[in-house]
Each structure stands twice: as C-alpha cells, then as structure tokens.
C-alpha cells in the first residue's frame, strides 16, 4: 500500500575507489577529505602533504649506512663493521703522531697544525722541497702551480708564527717594565715568585726534552690497549702519559704546571718554555691515537675475534669502544679534559 505521502528511499552515495557507501552527499564529501581516500587516490601510498616521510638525517658514507635518528647512528658507530672499515680505510699516516687520513690532502692539512712535527727554520732554504715528499717529480704547469701554492701557504704560516712570537715577547717586556717601576712590597713579592719560576724553567730544566721528542720516543704497545680496555679511556690514557713522565727526572720533563687552580701549563717546544695548554691537549690526542692504532696488532694476535659468536669478538668490541673514547667529538673533548686534570695533578710544581 504505497501512497503519495510515502517517503522515497534515499539514493545511496558510493565511493568506488574505497568501496565505501555513504548515507548522503554530505557524508561522501567528508569521506573525500579522509586520509584513507587520499592514500587510495595517490596509489595506496601512505603519505600526505601533512605527513611527509622523515628524511635520512644521519649517514655513514664509509659503510653506506643511513638512519633517521642519532640513536641508531651511535649504535652503528659501535658495531664491528664500522670499526673494521674505519681501521682499514685510512691509507695516509702521519710519520710522527701516527694519525691516519683517507687522502693526501687531509694529511697535508693535518701537518700544518700537528703538535708533534718539529718546525723547520723560519726562512731556511728547504722551503722549496715542501709538498714533494709524497709525490713524484712532475714538470707539468699544474704540478708547478700546486708546488707554488704549497710554498706560499708555508711562508704565510711561518710568518704568522714569527708575528705571534714577537707579540708574546712584547707582552713579556711590558710586564717586566711594569714590575721594575713598582716599588710596593706586594709587587716585589710577585717579582720574586716570577724570578723563581723562570729560574726553575730556564736553569734547572734547561736540559728538558721537547714535547715533540717526548711523543716521538713514546712507545705504545698492545698491552697498553688492553689496559685501556680494562681501566676505561680516561684512566687508560692517563696511565700511558704519566708512566712515561714518571720514568724521567722532574728536570727532564717537557711539561710543568705552575698554577693548578688556573691550569697554567708550561710546554717546552723548540727549546723554549711557553704557556700553552692547547699543546698539552694535542699531546693527549696524539697518545690516544697511538693507543688506537694498536687495534690491528691486537686483531693479528687474536684472529678468532672475527667470528661474531666467539668471546674474543665481544672483547674486541669493548677494546675498540674504550680506545675510541666516545662516539662523538663533544664526548671525546669532555673525556680529554678529565685526562688533562689527572696529568696536571702530577706535574704541578710549587713556587719557593
């Protein structure tokens, strides 16, 4: 019994793409705005303009590995794959501090600031041989141009060192002039203390070894690497540095600390005593690198470490982790500061 007042059944709206039936056009329009419909329209790719894929923020070019967060990247750095690749990929090595680089250009840049390289005379006639140790003789214009650039950079670097030396001398002269003009008892006391420190460094320690020679003569072996694995990076590197210092008489040491609170460090470099905390920090890095270079020797003595299921493999990972001193530059810098404090406590001298 159907009359004129009987309501007609509504036409159902449908989305064939999503296999969705809506009650009316309004519901269908709402469906068109949903993520499900947008993904179906884009080829079933779960990605919209409001939710783009997160880019790969961290990448290790050495291992061809990329990840989205720092946590995964740090975990990758600690793996045996990365450590072995890092140990085998560096072919250019510094002759003195044993640091390794991938390219000759990287090694050349390192040598400009390497604390362990003995500086040559400022204006000697050997400047013409700069950059020719690691390359073959070549008379081409490109080779000559590269050699000329190396000579210019070397001369500029030497000129900068001379200027810094003259500035330090001027500061010392000004300080001595002020001390001579003052007549108070306090200033006289400071002058006496300064004189005693100068006497200690320039007279009693005049035969002390240079820091560069100290690092060159230092021998680090596999046992030092194993001790670092047991003690940790800070105590292990401190032990290597201090053991070699304690073997020397106090007047023969290349480093002294005159003020432990202010961390005033005197380093003997090129037969001159100068306040230079940076050179002590560089020396710590050089010793840590010497210790890290023992990894390959340890692997040769323990070839079974290459088997991931062996106990030696776990020991290798621990040694490598401690020898690296952290997974980031910031962490290594913080640990090196702790090593420096351990050293300063031993080399601190008392003014008398």
Residue reference for tokens 């300064």: 194
**Alpha-carbon distance 226 to 287, whole Å?**
15
259, 218: one domain: yes
Q: Which of 158, 103, 311, 323 is nearest to 232 (CA)?
A: 323
164 located within any domain: no
Residue 198 token pair? 């100068």
Please report, in angstroms and rounded to a whole number, the separation of the first and last CA atoms in the chain: 122
Structural domain for 19, as ranges: 10-53
303, 344: one domain: yes
349, 215: one domain: yes
248, 293: one domain: yes
**Alpha-carbon distance 316 to 308, whole Å?**
10
Residue 131 confidence (pLDDT): 43
48, 66: one domain: no
113 located within any domain: no
**Total Cβ atoms within 10 A of residue 287:** 22
133 located within any domain: no
Q: Which CATH number do you get for residue 32?
A: 3.30.160
114 located within any domain: no
70, 26: one domain: no
25 located within any domain: yes
**Alpha-carbon distance 245 to 339, whole Å?**
14
Listing DSSP states for 283-300 in one string gives: HHHHHHHHHHTTHHHHHH
Half-sphere exposure of 187 (CA within 13 A, CB side): 10
C-beta separation of 23 from 12 below 8 A: yes
Q: Which helix (H) or strand (E) holds 89?
A: none
pTM above 0.85, yes or no: no
3 located within any domain: no
234, 273: one domain: yes
108 located within any domain: no
Residue 284 confidence (pLDDT): 86
211, 275: one domain: yes
In terms of Cβ atoms closer than 10 Å to its own Cβ (0-12, 13-18, 19+), residue 291 is: buried
Strand 13-15 to 255-259 pairing: unpaired
Residue 7 confidence (pLDDT): 53
Residue 326 confidence (pLDDT): 73
211, 81: one domain: no
284, 239: one domain: yes
* End residue of a domain, out of 89, 110, 138: 89
Residue 337 confidence (pLDDT): 87
Residue 186 confidence (pLDDT): 47
293, 319: one domain: yes
Residue 159 token pair? 């000129």
Q: Report CA-CA distances (Å) from 324 to 66, 229, 289, 328.
A: 21, 10, 8, 9
**Alpha-carbon distance 177 to 183, whole Å?**
12
Length of the chain: 352
Residue reference for tokens 């202010």: 262
66 located within any domain: yes
pLDDT tens digits, the chain, 352 residues: what are they? 445 555 555 555 788 888 888 888 888 888 888 888 888 777 665 544 444 555 557 888 878 888 888 888 888 888 888 877 776 556 678 877 777 777 788 888 888 887 544 444 443 444 444 444 444 445 555 555 556 667 777 777 777 777 777 888 777 777 767 666 654 444 444 444 444 778 888 888 888 888 888 888 888 888 888 888 888 888 888 888 888 888 888 888 898 888 888 888 888 888 888 888 888 888 888 888 888 888 888 888 888 878 778 787 888 888 888 888 777 788 888 888 888 888 888 888 865 5
280, 330: one domain: yes
Q: Alpha-carbon Rg of the chain, whole angstroms?
A: 33
Number of domains present in the structure of the chain: 3
């Amino acid at each position: 019994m159907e009359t004129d007042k009987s309501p007609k059944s509504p036409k159902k709206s449908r989305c064939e793409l999503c296999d969705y039936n809506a009650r009316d056009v309004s519901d269908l329009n709402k469906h068109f705005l949903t993520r499900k419909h947008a993904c179906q329209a884009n080829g079933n790719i779960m990605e919209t303009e409001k939710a783009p894929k997160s880019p790969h923020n961290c990448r290790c070019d050495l291992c061809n590995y990329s990840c989205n967060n720092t946590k995964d990247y740090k975990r990758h750095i600690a793996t045996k794959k990365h450590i072995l690749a890092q140990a085998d990929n560096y072919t250019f090595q510094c002759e003195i501090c044993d640091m390794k680089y991938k390219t000759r250009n990287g090694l050349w840049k390192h040598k400009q600031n390497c604390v362990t390289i003995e500086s040559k005379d400022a204006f000697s006639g050997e400047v013409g041989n700069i950059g020719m140790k690691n390359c073959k003789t070549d008379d081409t214009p490109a080779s000559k141009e590269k050699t000329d650039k190396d000579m210019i950079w070397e001369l500029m670097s030497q000129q900068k060192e001379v200027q810094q030396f003259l500035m330090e001398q001027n500061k010392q002269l000004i300080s001595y002039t002020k001390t001579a003009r003052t007549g108070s008892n306090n200033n006289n006391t400071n002058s006496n203390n300064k004189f005693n420190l100068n006497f200690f460094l320039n007279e009693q320690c005049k035969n002390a070894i240079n820091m560069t020679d100290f690092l060159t003569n230092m021998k680090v072996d596999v046992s030092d690497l194993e001790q670092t694995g047991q003690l940790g990076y800070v105590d292990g590197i401190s032990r290597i540095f201090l053991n070699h210092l304690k073997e020397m008489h106090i007047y023969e040491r290349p480093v002294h600390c005159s003020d432990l609170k202010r961390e005033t460090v005197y380093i003997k470099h090129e037969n001159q005593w100068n306040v230079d905390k940076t050179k002590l920090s560089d020396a710590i890095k050089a010793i840590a690198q010497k210790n890290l270079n023992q990894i390959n020797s340890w692997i040769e003595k323990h070839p079974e470490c290459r088997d991931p299921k062996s106990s030696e493999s776990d020991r290798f990972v621990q040694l490598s982790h401690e020898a690296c001193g952290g997974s980031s530059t910031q962490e290594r810098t913080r640990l090196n500061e702790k090593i420096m404090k351990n050293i300063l406590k031993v080399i601190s001298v008392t003014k008398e």
